[in-house]
Amino acid sequence: MDCLKFDHKEFWFKSLWVIVFALAVYATNMSDSDIRGDSIIYADIAKNILSLHSPLILHLNDDVYLNKPPLLFWLVALCLKMFGYTVFAVKVTVVLTSLSLSLSLFYLVARIFKNYNWAYLAVFCLNTTYVVYKATRPLRMESLTATFILLALVCFWLYLKSDRIKYLVWLGICCGLAIFSKGFLGLIPLAVMLLYAVFGDRNKLNWRFAGHFGIVLVVSLMVCGWWYVYISLKTDFIHHFFYEQTAARLLNGALQEGQQVVNYDKKPLYQYLYLMGRDYFMYIPFFLFGCYRLYRDKLSVDREGLRIVVIYAAFSWLSIHLISTRAERYLYEFYTIAAFISAYGIASIPKLKTVQFVNWLKVMGLAYMIFVMATPSKLSWNSYNELAELKQLSQNLQMPLLVNRDYFPNPNDRAGLDFFLEPEHIQSFDAMPQKAFLTVLPKEFQGDLSYRLIRKTRRLQLVMVLPR
């Protein structure tokens, strides 16, 4: 079949500028970036995999962590093993996952729609979307999960075109890895497969297609199911993950996370429209025009590919309304495919039909890299990175470094201390040592303590405690 012919050497040659652009956006100044929020928690969990020799049961702040599957943490732990417990090692993972996302979208558009110019523009639209950039630059699971979902969609298209079982196997592997990355979100390719049979091609509603769907399901379970069975037998995973995490988000509940109560307050259905208007305003006209042009051009573009894109975009948009929080990050998967639709709308503008959009990647990537490297001010916040320098100062001065863990009930602060410092540095003590020592205090510390401030970060005070 001609539609299945694809020159992979040409693809990798043409993807060089995609790689350069992704590196310019996500790798510039990576060793001096801040890790905070979920990023510092995930980094600490990955460190515990190595320090506790526990790759299957994850730990955070001395507790078992059951909120997420382990695939991303394994990848971070591998980078920490190679580069040490540093910000650079964490950012290597970020760069790898962001690069994989850009390449997977580039591959989907180039492979299915046979147009590299659209593919370049789709990558540009993707990485200049505020929510995608905001959720991809820190250490989060969105980019890794979206990578496997996009590759699964390509495999599904290849199956539709060829009817070959091997593509179902690859579809199951990608779907299983997506589930291994972020739980239920990884089921999207299976949902797209079922919806395609119902709305895309009614001829697929037969026992043969049901058997092929079963193959994908079995392969997916073989990839990730063993871990879910293991963790369910060893911990309280089923109650925590399915009730306290999933049901609370769907049913507008509240759950206890350590010493904090997290409320999932329900927001109105129109919340996502507001978020799109706020964060995606520059691409909304092109997205709508792209929808119109794809409908007009439906006979000249790949039929199966277009149906997959429409079903995925519609399902990812509608399904997030089941989550009561209506957070902007839940639009992430929708934006990955909206990037192609917006790109198609831009490329359909008559005056832009002859533009080589690879030049946009070259110019904007280079300009961003020069700006980040040349700016005299620090562009990132500084939450916990200075802890590594405090540890080095302790060694240079031969002065003990002692931190009272009771001062830090916040799980993010505890994770920052655990990641950058050693276990012997973090203790619980009532009486202060009678000699000078280095320590860390909360930013708004109000206790009876005589100290000299060394440095203040966005979250902490690094101080030298003086003997009385």
Q: How far apart are CA 75 and CA 81, in angstroms?
A: 10
Point out which residues pair with 262 in neighbouring strands. 255
Residue 197, amino acid: A
Compute the average pLDDT of residues 129-157: 93
Nearest Cα neighbor of 313 from 292, 336, 329 is 336
Yes or no: say if 197 and 22 are a contact pair by the CB < 8 Å rule. Answer: no
71-83 and 142-162 helices cross at what angle (nearest 10)? 120
Residue 342, amino acid: S
Tokens of 129: 């979307």
pLDDT of amino acid 258: 46
Tokens of 305: 């590919």
| Residue positions counted in the chain | 468
Residue 409 has pLDDT above 90, yes or no: no
Q: Report pLDDT digits (tens) over 326-339.
A: 788 889 999 999 99
Residue 255 has pLDDT above 60, yes or no: no
Q: How far apart are CA 305 and CA 248, in angstroms?
A: 36
Compute the average pLDDT of residues 100-114: 95
Nearest Cα neighbor of 465 from 426, 418, 432, 423 is 432
Yes or no: say if 200 and 306 are a contact pair by the CB < 8 Å rule. Answer: no
Q: How far apart are CA 327 and CA 267, in angstroms?
A: 9
Strand pairing class (63-64; 59-60): antiparallel
Residue 376 has pLDDT above 60, yes or no: no
The most distant pair of C-alpha atoms in the chain lies apart, rounded to whole Å, by 84
- For the ranges 26-40, 267-281, 293-307, the lowest mean pLDDT is seen at 26-40
pTM: 0.92
pLDDT of amino acid 107: 96
Judged by DSSP in three states, 455 sits in: strand
The answer to whether the Cα torsion of 267, 270, 275, 278 is positive or negative is negative
